[in-house]
A and B are shown apart, each in its own frame.
Chain A
């Protein structure tokens, strides 16, 4: 089971994170709301939403990533045919079963057509809720894209303010940029720790922490991550003979924990991935002085990680992306793990894979769904991948 079962602060932190992960009823969010007068929370779907703005409007940002394998789908299937990915049907299931009642607003980023369409379904299903579709800037020209996105942010800030009764002024935005810069630093430290010593930071634990970060106030997340890093530093841990892999394609509908564990158990260390990529989309901190909205918009337009959901203006970009990520993570290869029926991940895959193979990077690819319960096929593929490292010493 998890390496942390040793009695350390670490085990407690992981258990805390797991409890947040398993909290599909958002009890935690309800408690947070109950604790302060007039508190409100706003949900957002993957991949990216400007959490700084939500917070500046006096609301708790809550990332909604579906029901995973914990929620049995009954009403959700009334809304989706068998050939639509699993995430939206579990999100609807959560909503229809009242589990999302704590949210006063829902934001739907332009991740793909399914999530775009979900925004319309929300408009019809919950007419009294604030629902907004976030059309992320896609064009090449930073000026035009930046001013477009800044306008969107202004509208969002104003309208969320009307919901919460808190008119977020520049100061609030700046303050929340400061907090989320802290969040980004904490997350970067966590990722670096795993990249350097993956035997100390099982990806299951890292994942539970960043998932928890999606539903708790940023300050809490920062504290927990720092405590975790402090805890693991002291622990004895020994490196195993495993291959280092980058997992690509799981940025929206999330892989079940079982899949993450299966990959690491069958002889791989995950040293980089794009789980919840939106939470660390910016490659650098947002400048804290100057006009905050301009800074926020500008950072998205100029300094966003490359991801399938944003247009790639550079014709060479797709072909080169995997090499850059593998080198940065000192990985032996790539596991393309995409949700079934996921347009962004699956349409990108041939481009990314060709790029990787052009640089002799070994790749494997498979599809999953958030409620997958059988891992035999994944085990066999990840295992074969690890075998070849075991038998051939890397490449």
Chain B
């Protein structure tokens, strides 16, 4: 790697990294202090999260999936999962749930080492993942707090029917808002909500610019492993916040600078300027061996130029923006449009378009052992996308946070074979 790749963008990159670190730290400190400061706490999920609404009541969101994946990255998940299984949970089910339950049973110490507060409300936004429902039924057994259920109809036929949009909006008005009012003791402030939604839209513009920068060659970002960090704030507690908006302004500037300089993304092993394979990736990453997993790609000079996982908390690159003019309606649209709520034909279209728009050499599916919502059709996705693009796909298997199911030899073998296969086909074509 050339030295020139290092200095300026590095420094800038650090800036957004630092910002993110700081805002997360601040957030978890506020959470830890919540029992004293009496700031209300609302637990909810990433897909279909209603952060602006929650914030408009002055409440702090906690997102269990984020905590679970952080536990995975910090090497805690093995014990947490063992704890949950000891309590009678099956080895077959979602490891996010087991990791979360295990963490709860082990003192509920969050990602930053600070204790997480009890929820004042469980806001169950049921968006494209059956397990969410069970997850909060399980948490409800632990916490003596109200639960509000928001049913987001699934896009079974590929669209969010007007009556379904109305159904969501009505529930927001008649169920969710009253529940928040009760839990926080504050009345619904629509103006404040509009303001937050405006901030969201700005951040969303910047995020989309960042993700679409991958169309450039070399790609200045890794749109899977790198994007996991980029989408962090907007998928968790910071959509619709000033600090969130600032983070994305900064990030966009950095990425555009890197793009202008013709530089690649910074991987765990330094910059990846020479990019041999441009890949589209489907499915969540593995968290327990995240860097090792990323390295398997970067070692082969493979860069992700687009991924579906970076859309689980919102499919902004299709043009959706939160709209202050219609607060509850826009939240309904948001929930209905999350990647997790899309049907199979829509997901296949999405991947096919990514492969074309981002001029990818191939696509890789990471199949998660314990996630039916993602996995239980990925072999179909594989064959369908191959059929429509004529490009062979790679299929690897791991898990979200159960280290027992990360087999490096197995994954490396499949990935290597896949990339060597693409290379061999290239030579054949050129010959």
Contact = CB atoms under 8 A, between A and B. Distances in A.
Contacts of B376: 80, 84, 88, 113-114, 117-118
Top 5 nearest A-B pairs by Cβ distance? A120-B344, A133-B156, A347-B134, A346-B90, A113-B373
Interface stretch (A49-57, A136-144, A290-298, A387-395): A136-144
A79 interface: yes
Interface string A138-175: 11110010001001000000000000000000000000
B93 A347 contact: yes
Contacts of B369: 81, 83
B134 A343 contact: yes
A199 interface: no
A116 B141 CA distance: 27
Contacts of B343: 119-120, 123, 133
Interface stretch (A213-221, A229-237, A308-316, A375-383): A308-316
Contact of B344 (A112, A121, A311): A121
24 contacts: A78-B383, A79-B377, A80-B379, A81-B375, A81-B397, A83-B92, A112-B130, A113-B376, A117-B372, A120-B377, A121-B344, A121-B380, A123-B343, A124-B344, A124-B345, A124-B348, A139-B151, A140-B149, A144-B174, A148-B151, A341-B372, A343-B131, A349-B90, A351-B141
A311 B367 contact: no
Interface in B108-144: 126, 129-131, 133-135, 137-138, 140-141
A113 B93 CA distance: 12
A347 B129 contact: no
B130 A116 contact: yes
A218 B348 CA distance: 40
Interface string B322-344: 00000000000000000000011
Interface in A241-279: none
B219 interface: no
A344 B154 contact: no
Contacts of A116: 130, 154
Given A114-B376, A119-B343, A144-B167, A311 B156 contact: no
Given A88-B376, A110-B154, A351-B141, A139 B88 contact: no
B170 interface: yes
A80 B141 CA distance: 33
A319 interface: yes
Contacts of B170: 144
B370 interface: yes
A121 B129 CA distance: 17
B400 interface: no
Given A79-B380, A118-B377, A367-B90, 16 more contacts: A84-B376, A113-B129, A121-B344, A123-B343, A124-B380, A133-B156, A138-B149, A138-B151, A315-B147, A341-B372, A343-B372, A346-B92, A346-B93, A347-B89, A349-B90, A351-B138
Interface in B139-183: 140-141, 147, 149-151, 153-154, 156-157, 163, 167, 170-171, 174-175
Interface in B61-116: 87-90, 92-94, 97
Contacts of A112: 130, 372
Contacts of A137: 151
Interface of B: 87-90, 92-94, 97, 126, 129-131, 133-135, 137-138, 140-141, 147, 149-151, 153-154, 156-157, 163, 167, 170-171, 174-175, 343-345, 347-348, 367, 369-370, 372-373, 375-380, 383-384, 397
A139 B171 contact: yes
A213 B370 CA distance: 34
Nearest to B126: A138
B265 to A, nearest CB: 30
A350 interface: yes
Contacts of B130: 110, 112-113, 116, 343-344
Nearest to A127: B345
A348 B135 CA distance: 10
Nearest to B346: A120
A353 interface: yes
Contact of A311 (B133, B157, B347, B348): B133
A153 B369 CA distance: 35
B153 A135 contact: yes
B397 A135 contact: no
A338 B348 CA distance: 32
A132 interface: yes
Contacts of A44: none
B141 A347 contact: no
B149 A350 contact: no
Give the residue among B130, B131, B140 with the most A Cβ atoms within 10 A: B130
B83 to A, nearest CB: 12
A113 B372 contact: yes
A346 B135 CA distance: 12
A151 B162 CA distance: 12
Nearest to A83: B369
B380 A350 contact: no
Nearest to B129: A113
Contacts of B378: 81
A349 B88 contact: yes
B92 A340 contact: yes
Contacts of A312: 137
B149 A313 contact: yes
Contacts of A144: 167, 170-171, 174-175
Given A123-B343, A123-B344, A347 B174 contact: no
A318 interface: yes
Contact of B379 (A79, A141, A349): A79
A344 B135 CA distance: 11
A151 B379 contact: no
B345 to A, nearest CB: 6
Nearest to B374: A113
Given A120-B343, A135-B154, A139-B151, A367 B92 contact: yes
Contact of B137 (A117, A148, A311, A367): A311
